[in-house]
Amino acid sequence: MFNTLRTFTLLAAMTALFMGAGYLVGGATGVVIALGLAAAMNLFSYWNADKIVLRMYNAREVNAESAPQFYRLVEQLAENAQLPMPRVYVIDTDLPNAFATGRNPDNAAVAATLGLLKRLNQQEIAAVMAHELAHVKNRDTLTMTVTATIAGAISMLANFAMFAGMFGGNRDNPLGGLGTLLVALLAPVAAMLVQTAISRTREYAADKAGAEICGQPMWLASALTKIERLAHEAEYQPAEKNPATAHMFIINPLSGKSVGALFSTHPTTQDRVQRLEQLAQAWGKTGGTPTQPAARPWG
């Protein structure tokens, strides 16, 4: 309950930030425009953000015929989690990673890269997809996609403020050139901070719930360690071009060279692994076949 309240509070802060930036750029008129845009973006994101994100990463949908082993693994994990079967996607990159999206469990999608499917073992893949299904079960996917949309819009507003400043600013700007400068420089930073807080809150919860779905915390600990080591072998250009979506992945896909990467959207992998090790000790599970609390072994 606390995490849910905190997440909605942070989303409200993101919307308020967008409106405040609108005020600094265009005064009262800017607030009205920003409020209208925020409402429109939230509505648009609710229905379409999953499609936009999947298109950004050229994800292709697979089924029981085109990817039988992977599809059936997700199917069994969804059954363990007592979730409807999500749509399943594969992304053509050798860098291992995964994310979930969708406005609710009935309209969810999970995506994994080919690198994840090729470079992790079956247990690690199961744990990663269980983590993504945990985001679906916790209804994080809508929060994360709406956050990405608003963060992207704030960045666009900052670019507009910079452009307006170059040509004399806006007469409705209550602070003149200073307001334009504040929006251009500080609004994207503030958006990243709020986005980071939202993501970190949800990742810990999804790690724990994912371990419950697959039944083995150490499988996820092993997967996180391996992905962290392999995911940054090269720059992943779709992520670098769309840094506002980085928080959706199980491990931050950014190389660390961009400005957006200065604000880590994830807890440290070391901290996440430590928490999973503590969970495994509490369950008396350090390896082997999952028995608790998954409905049945994933197979």
Residues with a known catalytic role: 132
Which phi and psi angles does 110 have, rounded to 5°? Answer: -120, 145
How many Cα atoms occupy the beta-carbon half-sphere of 90 within 13 Å?
18
What is the edge-to-edge ordering of all strands in the sheet holding 87-91? 60-62, 87-91, 108-113, 98-102
DSSP-assigned states of every residue in 51-112: HHHHHHTT-EEE-TTTSHHHHHHHHHHHHHTT-PPPEEEEE--SS--EEEEESSGGGEEEEE
3-class secondary structure, 249: strand
Percentage helix, strand, coil, to 5, in the chain? 70, 5, 25
DSSP β-ladder status, 60-62 and 108-113: unpaired
CB count within 10 Å of CB 84 equals 12
Is the separation of the CB atoms in 144 and 247 below 8 Å?
A: yes
CA dihedral sign of residues 19, 23, 28, 30:
negative
What are the structure tokens assigned to 90, written together? 């594969």
User: In this structure, is the dihedral angle defined by the CA atoms of residues 9, 14, 19 and 21, taken in order, positive or negative?
Assistant: positive
Question: Is residue 293 reached through a cis peptide bond, with omega within 30 degrees of 0 on the bond before it?
Answer: yes
Structure tokens at 119: 């470079």
